[in-house]
Amino acid sequence: MSIRKNMVLPVVLCGGSGTRLWPLSRRDYPKQFVPLINGKSLLELTFERLQTFAEIIAVGADSQRFLVEEAARSVPCDVEQILEPVARDTAPAMALGALAGGEDRDLLLFCPADHYIPDTNAFVGMVEQAVPAAIDGKIVTFGVMPHSPSTAYGYIEMGQKLDNGCYQSLGFLEKPVFERATEFLASGKHVWNAGIFLVRRDVLLAALGVFEPEMLEACRLAMNKSAPDGHFRRPDADAFAKATAKSIDYAVMERAKNVVVFPFIGSWSDVGSWNALAELNVADDSGNSFGGATQNIKTIETENTFVHAEENRLVVTVGVRDLIVVDTPDAVLISARDRVEDVKKVVASLMDDERSQAVAHRKVARPWGAYDSIEMGERHQVKRITVKPGAKLSLQRHHHRAEHWIVVKGTAIVTCDERKFLLRENESTYIPLGAVHRMENPGKIPLELIEVQSGTYLGEDDIVRLDDDYGRNFSETESRTE
């Protein structure tokens, strides 16, 4: 086996909100889970890139654990999840990864879940070249050689070149103004901060012990009191809540003396804005590029514009230039290309207004499949529900609504109080208010059905869950939906 499989344990950091890619990226479904590149999510592509290292640890939100599991299953790869009870930024997340065990592989490779690196061989080769420096006790950070004076990234200043091929780090620099970024590019001594690190487990824990002892102690206590749940691991919520929220750059990298930089010359993007995503797509002769359901896009006398369309409708642009146009079922973004960084301000404003479009999509992923709320009135709601082969919803009942189910594809096994029966395509059933019910898909293709709800109250918190295959409980936001 190669040195990387024997020694390196990847830890994928799955947090992050991705507000600059709204309306595709939302709080409950951030950009790392959105199919952005050739129908695959950035997390799927990250898992694919790390497959060569065998097992993987993923640190992410409890509420998004099934999205991580789905990405791992689609690759497929072996992923153990550590579920953060609350978000505490990258330093506590990395501490959890370092405390997770697996001491037989002492080198930890920390990777963000939402970066795009198309050349896997170049990436793996870079990590292998940096292994000797990490073994020697250095904290290796990988910096991307810049090709433009970007103001969207932080920078690292490189000092003297060392014998191991790395450079001494002279400091981490915040996102600069354009003039300063131009100076960085011209100097040849500055690289973009990619947020990827290779470090010995004991070296990272020792650094956290020196610079953030209270944070480390909170994380250690949380892991010591953690509860296993299948291939999930749940750190103690009360203990972890006491960890200070801080990025690894502020907690360690800007303070430690043993930080070195290994420059990476391959292609890399953090897909941090719509312009960044547009640049990953091949442009036509007019400088236009497209995403999503490209067959639903029509441009006439349009230049230097990026258009994203969905399957449900046609998007047409006429006589425009330098725009970002993103269509989703419940929100449309139209922005000047030089103002896309302000999209995060839009999200903040929508949150202040308590608009649901800031939080979740109309179509909501669930561990058993998904539902799409296609129509809502004062006393009715219509959903299109998709259930994965072999999956089942929880056994439940409602206090305020009744439901009609119509199967449009596949076959359903329906439980309704004491009855259990098969429902085929073009067949329907009625679930009275208060009835104990469940649906499951016994087939090998996705089950699709239309659900019509009617009643005095249609909120997602009108549910009493009696049994569930996915270990959900009422302390979770997601458990209050089907």
- Which phi-psi region, left, alpha or beta, contains residue 20 (left: φ > 0; alpha: ψ -120 to 50)? alpha
Structure confidence by residue, pLDDT tens digits, 305-343? 999 999 889 999 999 999 999 999 999 999 999 999 899
Over residues 340-354, the pLDDT tens digits come to 989 999 999 999 999
29: which DSSP letter? Answer: B
89: alpha, beta or left, given left = phi > 0 and alpha = psi -120 to 50? left
Q: pTM of this prediction? A: 0.89
Residues recorded for the chain = 482
pLDDT at 332: 97
Reported as a single tens digit per residue, the pLDDT across 29-75 is 999 999 999 889 999 999 999 998 878 999 999 889 999 999 999 99
Structure confidence at residue 450 (pLDDT):
98
Could you give all domains of the chain from N- to C-terminal order, each with its CATH number?
3-264 (3.90.550.10), 274-344 (no CATH), 363-480 (2.60.120.10)
pLDDT band at 177 (very low <50, low <70, confident <90, very high): very high
Assign 470 a pLDDT band (cuts: 50, 70, 90): confident
Q: What angle do CA 409, 415, 421 make, to 5 degrees?
A: 65
Query: Can you tell me the mean pLDDT for 182-192?
Result: 94
Integer-rounded Cα Rg, in Å, for the chain is: 24
Please report the sign of the dihedral spanned by the C-alpha atoms of residue 203, residue 209, residue 211, residue 214: positive
Burial of residue 354 (CB within 10 Å: 0-12, 13-18, 19+) is: exposed
Three-class SS of residue 438? Answer: strand
Q: Which residues contact 145 (CB under 8 A, 6 or more apart)?
A: 191, 192, 263, 264, 265
Average pLDDT, the chain: 92
> Around Cβ 46, how many Cβ atoms within 10 Å?
25
